[in-house]
Chains A and B, each alone.
Chain A
Amino acid sequence: MVPRDVGAREIYDICVNQGLGVHGDMKVYLDLTHHSREFLDRRLGGILEIYEKFTGVDPREEPMEIFPAVHYSMGGIWTDYTRTADGFIDHQSPRNQMTSMEGLYAAGEADYQYHGANRLGANSLLSCIYTGLMMGPGVVNYIKNQKESAADLPSSLFEQAQQQWQEKFTGIKQMKGKENPYKLHAELSETMMSNVLIVRDNARLAATVEKIDEYDERWKDVECVDTSDWTNPVPSFVNQLYNMIQLSKVIAKGALLRDEFRGAHYKPEFEINQPSDFKPESFLEYTKLKADGGLKQDSFKPDHLEYMRLYEESNEKWLKSSIATFNGKGPDISYEAVDTSLIQPRPRKYD
């Protein structure tokens, strides 16, 4: 097994660069037929049944046709935490998982912690559970420390907020433009899938940023295709579509500005080739020698030394989270250093 970004890139290479996809499509075979039916049913029963139902092909007898798809959002809402004196997390702090808005918390896939440039398989639920556990006592303590509760605030505050949203949705319902919101959404998604997904290229990213600005303009010309008042999903969808356009800008601009290859953020232009006989631990030795002033030209093989130098340089520039701030029109991107106080980053290697 390889991590999914590596797998996805291999599939992309086979299908796009080599033109060898199954039936000429963005698909490759995943063959499980060397396992017994009993083994497959016991270990993968549910998922194989779904495959069979959707394709009409028995994956226990014939290789499956598979393709990469989006199934997680890496990055998310900025959230805080409080350190203890010995560098760990203070599990009682009301700051844990609090966003940049006081009293507003985010946990799980919505927050930006833990899965910056890549998420390892099966680690999402782990981080959901962890951030949820960490946030719970924080919220309780935050409430305990409050002198007043929501009930003590003037009702006008809530009425204003309600009015603001009512006006917003009334405005959306009155949109009578030429664009069908669902069609515009399909275009946005197609643009993002083809340009900001598995392989990223600066020229195409720059064009994508412009394209999303066009969608932003076109959103103003949307028609709210259902204006009824009962269980009407259209106004909410139009509202969400606006947010999706803004989020797409964040993703595309963040990707454009980041001139490196890190995790699932793959820019072939900036790939540093790891020598095949390189061991990740060498990097720890390298930094130690460097700190002690003992690093010599022959401490490592020349190609290893060069690789580690480039890796270090890339980290100095880019071992940072991109922070997007809304400026009223679109995102401004700034950077925040990644906290590496507990574990020193090292190159990854899969073989």
Chain B
Amino acid sequence: MSNKTITFKILRQDGPNQPSYWETFVIPYLPNSNVISCLMDIQKNPINAEGKKVRPVVWECNCLEEVCGTCTMVINGKTRQSCSALIDKLMQPITLQPLSKFPVVRDLAVDRSRMFEALKRVKAWVPMDGYHDLGPGDKILPDHQGVAYKLSECMTCGCCVEACPQYSRDNNFLGAAAISQARLFNMHPTGKLIANERLDTLMDDGGIAACGNAQNCVEVCPKSIPLTESIAEMGRQSSKRFWKTLFQI
């Protein structure tokens, strides 16, 4: 690896339903760079490897510290955040591609709405009916809190669904992240109030049954969220609800 320059091969696309094309950029090497700082360098001098002035690459980012999840892309074939992708640890040329499970908006920016829709489907929130003083909430035990804290670190980045063989652009699988969030809110003392509504969604089309237990999701999650554990736990809760409703009829 040369220490003088960094070479990027970027899969670009001018808009949805437009053809994609590869473009190469060679930029000066700077110590401690990451993929985003390099994309920013390209913005400052948008000239490709052929010396042609081009439009700067479009991508999304926000926190620059791997907590918001917006900068997720496929880097050297692996789905991950570009802000925490350190240049010194990457083989060159570095390839950048947009996530494949979502529609491309432009270049490396994709539309992850489906993940947010999935959060709505599983009602990933604590129901509240006003901002009046509700008094102190229920106590949460430390070991319970430990599990919930880990689950709450999910940043809806999309790595898990990108790696999942069951999640495709033509089905309606909720994906591991949303299933895990259903678990988080079913654990919460107030969130629990609508636990059954969440389970009904999980038992419906595109829910838990769609998971083939390939376990790719847990391998790629940057926050090491125990996704297969969450899926198993939600499977248990769903079967329990299934048998309960069966006997009530």
Contact = CB atoms under 8 A, between A and B. Distances in A.
Contacts of B14: 228, 230
Given A50-B65, A53-B66, A183-B44, A234 B131 contact: no
Given A50-B65, A182-B40, A182-B44, A231 B58 contact: yes
Interface string A167-202: 000000000000010110010000000000000000
A226 B66 contact: no
Nearest to A129: B131
Contacts of A50: 65-67, 84
A228 B44 contact: no
Contacts of A233: 58
A231 B65 contact: no
B127 interface: no
B140 interface: no
Contact of A226 (B40, B55, B65): B55
Given A50-B66, A182-B40, A225 B46 contact: yes
B179 to A, nearest CB: 21
A328 interface: no
Nearest to B53: A225
A25 to B, nearest CB: 11
Contacts of B105: 231
B64 to A, nearest CB: 10
Interface string A149-174: 00000000000000000000000000
A228 B84 contact: no
A16 interface: no
A72 interface: no
A233 B224 CA distance: 33
Contacts of B56: 182, 225-226, 234
B220 interface: no
A46 interface: yes
Interface in A213-248: 225-226, 228, 230-234
A133 B130 CA distance: 11
B165 interface: no
Given A182-B40, A230-B106, A231-B109, A54 B55 contact: no
B65 A180 contact: no
A234 B45 CA distance: 13
Contact of A133 (B55, B131, B146, B224): B131
Interface string B103-141: 001100100000000000000000000010000000000
Contacts of A182: 40, 43-44, 56
B15 interface: yes
Contacts of B149: 45-46
A231 B107 CA distance: 10
B153 interface: yes
A42 interface: yes
Interface string A313-348: 000000000000000000000000000000000000
A224 to B, nearest CB: 10
B15 A231 contact: yes
A263 interface: no
Nearest to A186: B44
Contacts of B86: 54, 56
A225 B55 contact: yes
Q: In the complex, which of the residues B40, B58, B109 has the most CB atoms of chain A within 10 Å of its own CB atom?
A: B58
A136 B66 CA distance: 32
B15 A136 contact: no
Contacts of A56: 86, 89
A46 B46 CA distance: 36
Contacts of A186: 44
Given A186-B44, A225-B55, 10 more contacts: A50-B84, A53-B66, A53-B84, A54-B65, A136-B131, A180-B45, A182-B43, A225-B43, A231-B15, A234-B56
Report the 4 A-B pairs with minimum CB-CB distance, sorted nearest first: A231-B106, A226-B55, A182-B43, A230-B15
16 contacts: A42-B146, A45-B149, A46-B153, A53-B84, A54-B65, A56-B89, A180-B43, A182-B40, A182-B56, A186-B44, A225-B46, A230-B15, A231-B58, A231-B106, A232-B58, A233-B58
